[in-house]
A and B are shown apart, each in its own frame.
Chain A
Amino acid sequence: EAQVTQNPRYLITVTGKKLTVTCSQNMNHEYMSWYRQDPGLGLRQIYYSMNVEVTDKGDVPEGYKVSRKEKRNFPLILESPSPNQTSLYFCASSSQGMYEQYFGPGTRLTVT
């Protein structure tokens, strides 16, 4: 089944403790993105990747890192999480030449 998976789905952590949210797609898509969804703010793009080793900042990259070492994986790294990063995070992928993004199920992160 073609899909985007994220792990973990739920995470509660403390300020300053490094964490990684994984994203994987099995559709051989070139493009992948990370978004955060906050009430009243909608979805905001954090980072995106056009292909392996090619990444660029979205609208809200501060406090996040990404890497794209393999085509199927696009992990989101929070080196030192803070409470303002408490949010619902979505990963998405799409194919070059296509317009539709396929979204993952979301990861709900709480930083205390």
Chain B
Amino acid sequence: AQRVTQPEKLLSVFKGAPVELKCNYSYSGSPELFWYVQYSRQRLQLLLRHISRESIKGFTADLNKGETSFHLKKPFAQEEDSAMYYCALRRWGGYQKVTFGIGTKLQVIP
């Protein structure tokens, strides 16, 4: 069985402070990990994928297979980062069974 754990339902940080949204997973095979974001009144959209190793809107995430983690980080939070963030996992290779975490609401305080 595959499982995604996001331990924090709500994370509040001040503008300009570093952000780390935690994601841990449980999966016996080779996983693909994703971060999706949902801004207020907008659709859920992909933020980044572990294999791309790119930075999107200043966010990065590194897959740590030893710790089975895929934490999302940003060095300086901005007000427009306030949103719901979901970590998601699927089996490597395009298999479409996808498991999402419960989500973390990021609140950036001006």
Contacts and interface: CB of A to CB of B under 8 A. Distances in A.
Interface majority SS (helix, strand, loop, mixed), chain A:
strand
Contact of B98 (A40, A41, A97, A101): A101
Contacts, number: 55
A87 to B, nearest CB: 14
A89 B97 CA distance: 17
A99 B34 contact: yes
B83 interface: no
Interface in B23-66: 32, 34, 36, 43-46, 49, 51
A90 B43 CA distance: 9
B79 to A, nearest CB: 24
A104 interface: yes
Interface string A26-61: 000001010100001111110011100000101100
